C-alpha cells in the first residue's frame, strides 16, 4: 500500500485551548506536563499507550502507536489559550479540585506561566457564567480579527511551527442551524453584519482558527464547526476539523452497550439516563438552554446505532430520556445512572442497571491529548475538512450530509487504526486472516 506523504513533526506545536482555565483543560495540561517529566502514566491515551497490529496475525507485530506513527512528541507541546477568568492554569487547577495539590505542585512553575488571553464571551450563550476576563465589546468580525492576532502572536512568541486550537469551554445554549450557516458567503455576511443570534462565540474561534490554517477541535455539543459554512471554509483553506462533544462517561457506555444489544438482536423498550455533576460544567448545564444542546447530543447515539427504522420490531418504540442535575458537592466527580429495559426471546422483559461513578475531567484529559496529536498529524498528512476517522472521541461525530454517522465504539476504533495503518503504508485489516 502506498504510504501517505507526511510532513515532519519538526519544531514546537502550539496548543491553544478555549477554556484553558477550566477543569478539563487544566487537568489535561497538568497531566501532560507531568508525563513528560517522567512522572505518572498517561492512562486513557491511545497515542501514548496503545499498540497497533501490523500485518498478519502470525507475524505477531504489535508496536506502540507512538513508535510507528509520526506524531509530535510531548516535549514539543506549548500550551496557551483563552478564558473568561484571569487565573493562571496553576490557580485554575487548584480551583477545579480535580487533582490533588501535590500532583499539581509537581509542575507548578510551568502551570503558573500559562496565563489566559481574554476570551470572546457573550452572556446570552452561557447564562450561568459571568466572565470578567473578556475582550471588549466589539462586532463578531472584529472579535475574529482579535483572535487571529492572538494566534499569530502566540505562535511567534513561542517559536511554534504549528498550532492546534481546541474548544474545552462550557456548553453554549442550543441554537438551530439557519440560513446564515448554509454557505461561507452567508456566514461571512452574518459576521460582518454582526448577527449575534446566528453567530456564537465558539463559531468565532472556529473561524479564526481555520483562517489561520490551524486544525480546530470542537469538544462541546455546540452548533459550531458542524455547519456547511465551516466545512466549505475548512476545505477552502485545507484545514482539518473534528467534533463534536468529547465522549467520556455515560455516552461512552452507550456506544458499547447499544452495539451489544443490536449484535445479539435483543430488543430495547426504554433507556433512562440521569447524571449528577458539580463544577462549572454542571452549573452551566443547569440552564435549560445549555442542557438542550447537551441533550440533543446524547439522544442521537442510540437511534443511530440501533438503526430503528431498519429494525422496527426491536427498536421501533424506544423511550429514551436523559437528565443532568447540578449537584455542587460532587464537583467534577460525576455519577451516571442508567436503567435499560430490554426485550428477549418470546418478548420477555429483562433489565440492565448501571451506576458509573466517574471523574469527568480525568476521562476527558487523555482524549484531549490524542485529539491534539492526531489533528496535527492529519494536517501534516494533507487531510482537510471533516476528520471522520476521529469519531472514536466524540459523542456526536461530525459527518457529511450524505453519510450516516458511525457511533459504534468498536467500529470507530477499527476505522481509527486503519487510518493510521494507511498513513504509515501498512495494509488495512479486515480481520479475515
Q: What are the pLDDT digits (tens) for 61-85?
A: 999 999 999 999 999 999 999 999 9
Instruction: Dump pLDDT digits (tens) for 261-280.
Output: 999 999 999 999 998 988 77
- Report whether 303 contacts 357 (CB < 8 A): no
Instruction: Dump pLDDT digits (tens) for 281-317.
Output: 777 777 777 777 667 766 778 888 999 999 999 999 9
Predicted confidence at residue 287, as pLDDT, reads: 73
- Cα of first residue to Cα of last residue in the chain, in angstroms, is 18
Q: Tell which wins on pLDDT, 201 or 332.
A: 201
Residues 270 and 228 in one domain: no
Predicted confidence at residue 359, as pLDDT, reads: 92
Predicted confidence at residue 298, as pLDDT, reads: 66
Mean pLDDT of the chain: 94
Residues 155 and 91 in one domain: yes
Residues 280 and 393 in one domain: no
Question: Given 357, 381, 411, which residue is the final one in a domain?
Answer: 357
Residue 182, pLDDT > 90, answer: yes
Question: Given 310, 329, 357, which residue is the final one in a domain?
Answer: 357
Residues 69 and 86 in one domain: yes
Instruction: Dump pLDDT digits (tens) for 223-265.
Output: 999 999 999 999 999 999 999 999 988 888 998 999 999 999 9
Instruction: Dump pLDDT digits (tens) for 5-34.
Output: 999 999 999 999 999 999 999 999 999 999
Residue 366, pLDDT > 60, answer: yes
Kindly report the CATH number assigned to the domain that includes residue 82.
3.40.50.720
Predicted confidence at residue 294, as pLDDT, reads: 66
Q: Which residue has the cell 464537583?
A: 331
Q: How far apart are CA 280 and CA 238, in angstroms?
A: 35
Structural domain span for residue 26: 12-246+362-423
Residue 329, pLDDT > 80, answer: yes
Q: Tell me, yes or no, whether 41 lies in a domain.
A: yes
Q: How far apart are CA 151 and CA 154, in angstroms?
A: 5
Instruction: Dump pLDDT digits (tens) for 91-136.
Output: 999 999 999 999 999 999 999 999 999 999 999 999 888 899 999 9
Residues 87 and 156 in one domain: yes
% the chain with pLDDT above 70: 99
Residues 79 and 155 in one domain: yes
Predicted confidence at residue 11, as pLDDT, reads: 97
Residues 27 and 165 in one domain: yes
Residues 147 and 237 in one domain: yes
- Report whether 341 contacts 351 (CB < 8 A): yes
Predicted confidence at residue 1, as pLDDT, reads: 55
Residues 314 and 385 in one domain: no
Residue 427 CB coordination number (10 Å): 12
Question: Given 334, 357, 380, which residue is the final one in a domain?
Answer: 357
Residues 272 and 329 in one domain: yes
- This prediction has a pTM of 0.93
Integer Rg of the chain from CA: 21
Q: How far apart are CA 352 and CA 320, in angstroms?
A: 14
Kindly report the CATH number assigned to the domain that includes residue 276.
3.30.360.10
Q: Tell me, yes or no, whether 294 lies in a domain.
A: yes
Amino acid at each position: 500500500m502506498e504510504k501517505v506523504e507526511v510532513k515532519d513533526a519538526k519544531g514546537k506545536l502550539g496548543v491553544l485551548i478555549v477554556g484553558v482555565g477550566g477543569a478539563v483543560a487544566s487537568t489535561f495540561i497538568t497531566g501532560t506536563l507531568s508525563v513528560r517529566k517522567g512522572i505518572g502514566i498517561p492512562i486513557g491515551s491511545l497515542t501514548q499507550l496503545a499498540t497497533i497490529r501490523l500485518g498478519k496475525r502470525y507475524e505477531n507485530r504489535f508496536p506502540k502507536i507512538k513508535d510507528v506513527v509520526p506524531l509530535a512528541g510531548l516535549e514539543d507541546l506549548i500550551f496557551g489559550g483563552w478564558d473568561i477568568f484571569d487565573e493562571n492554569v496553576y490557580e485554575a487547577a487548584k480551583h477545579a479540585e480535580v487533582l490533588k495539590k501535590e500532583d499539581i505542585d509537581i509542575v507548578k512553575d510551568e502551570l503558573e506561566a500559562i496565563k489566559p488571553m481574554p476570551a470572546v464571551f457573550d452572556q446570552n450563550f452561557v447564562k450561568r457564567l459571568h466572565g470578567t476576563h473578556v475582550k471588549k465589546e466589539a462586532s463578531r468580525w472584529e472579535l475574529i480579527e482579535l483572535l487571529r492576532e492572538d494566534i499569530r502572536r502566540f505562535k511567534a512568541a513561542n517559536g511554534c511551527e504549528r498550532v492546534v486550537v481546541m474548544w474545552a469551554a462550557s456548553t453554549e445554549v442550543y441554537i438551530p442551524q439557519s440560513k446564515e450557516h448554509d454557505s461561507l458567503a452567508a456566514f461571512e455576511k452574518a459576521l460582518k453584519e454582526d448577527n449575534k443570534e446566528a453567530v456564537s462565540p465558539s463559531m468565532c474561534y472556529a473561524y479564526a482558527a481555520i483562517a489561520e490554517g490551524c486544525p480546530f477541535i470542537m469538544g462541546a455539543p455546540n452548533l459550531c464547526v458542524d455547519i456547511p459554512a465551516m466545512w466549505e471554509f475548512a476545505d477552502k483553506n485545507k484545514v482539518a476539523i473534528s467534533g463534536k462533544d468529547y465522549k467520556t462517561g455515560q455516552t461512552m457506555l452507550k456506544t458499547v452497550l447499544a452495539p451489544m444489544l443490536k449484535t445479539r438482536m435483543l430488543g430495547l423498550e426504554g433507556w433512562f439516563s440521569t447524571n449528577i455533576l458539580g463544577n462549572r460544567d454542571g452549573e452551566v448545564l443547569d440552564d435549560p438552554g445549555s442542557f438542550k444542546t447537551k441533550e440533543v447530543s446524547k439522544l442521537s447515539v442510540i437511534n443511530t446505532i440501533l438503526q430503528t427504522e431498519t429494525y422496527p420490531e426491536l427498536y421501533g418504540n424506544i423511550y429514551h430520556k436523559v437528565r443532568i442535575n447540578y449537584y455542587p458537592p460532587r464537583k467534577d466527580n460525576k455519577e451516571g445512572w442508567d436503567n435499560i429495559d430490554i426485550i428477549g426471546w418470546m418478548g420477555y422483559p429483562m433489565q440492565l442497571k448501571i451506576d458509573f461513578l466517574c471523574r469527568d475531567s480525568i476521562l476527558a484529559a487523555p482524549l484531549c491529548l490524542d485529539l491534539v496529536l492526531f489533528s496535527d498529524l492529519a494536517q501534516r498528512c494533507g487531510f482537510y475538512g471533516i476528520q471522520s476517522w476521529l469519531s472514536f472521541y466524540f459523542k456526536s461525530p461530525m459527518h457529511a450530509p450524505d453519510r450516516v454517522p458511525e457511533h459504534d465504539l468498536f467500529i470507530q476504533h477499527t476505522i481509527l487504526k486503519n487510518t493510521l495503518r494507511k498513513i504509515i503504508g501498512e495494509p488495512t485489516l479486515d480481520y479475515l486472516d
